[in-house]
Amino acid sequence: MAGPFNFNQIKPLNPLLALFPTGMYGIDHAYRVFKLVDRIGEFEGIQKETRQTLKFCALFSEIGRDEKVIDQNYGLKSLKKIEGKIFFEKGLFKNDLTRFLIECHHQETEHVQEKLEYYKLKNRNEAIFLLKVLKDAMCLDSFRFGNFCAADLEFSNSKKLILFASQFCRKELKQDLILEEIENWLSEIQ
């Protein structure tokens, strides 16, 4: 028979971890996309501040996803889920470009024109370019499903990361280290 339950042994749930869905679209996926989008951005010559926005979007664009339900609005649900969080108040991420990327990351590029209008983005070419970078990073993470297709990648620099992405997807990630890196990154930026 087990002894009395010791509540001091319970670790408090990390509020950052609580944002992410469990399963295949959880924090491990977000972290891999976070790393991949930074690499693609670096190869594409994207400025550091803009890469920070891409990394933020990579981390939080799928937190509105429910793995049990097929839902085409999870980008918008992700956006609503993070709008009340304190790190979204950082000036770097509180802008229409970030909102556009999070809401539209799962949509076909041809179908986002209405959202470009809605968010009144001045540099639409840049917004589409960044959306494609984010989509390439997510595509590279599809190695974990075994259905990766290099033809789906937009950029030749993304294709240079195929071997890295395939190995990265097989690597066992330690959740504590992921959380620590993300928390450190969030505290370092603006």
CATH number of residue 87's parent domain: 1.10.3210
2 located within any domain: no
7 located within any domain: no
What's the pLDDT score for residue 123? Answer: 94
Q: How far apart are CA 80 and CA 61, in angstroms?
A: 10
Full domain range(s) for residue 80: 19-188
**Are residues 15 and 145 in contact, defined by beta-carbon separation less than 8 angstroms?**
no
What's the pLDDT score for residue 77? Answer: 84
Task: Please say if the pLDDT value at position 98 is more than 60.
Answer: yes
14 class by beta-carbon count within 10 Å (0-12 exposed, 13-18 middle, 19+ buried): middle
Query: Over the stretch 50-96, which tens digit does the pLDDT of each residue have?
Result: 999 999 999 999 888 877 666 677 788 888 887 766 655 556 677 89
Domain count, the chain: 1
57 located within any domain: yes
11 located within any domain: no
Query: Over the stretch 19-34, which tens digit does the pLDDT of each residue have?
Result: 888 888 889 999 999 9
Q: How far apart are CA 89 and CA 32, in angstroms?
A: 24
**Are residues 75 and 103 in contact, defined by beta-carbon separation less than 8 angstroms?**
yes
90 located within any domain: yes
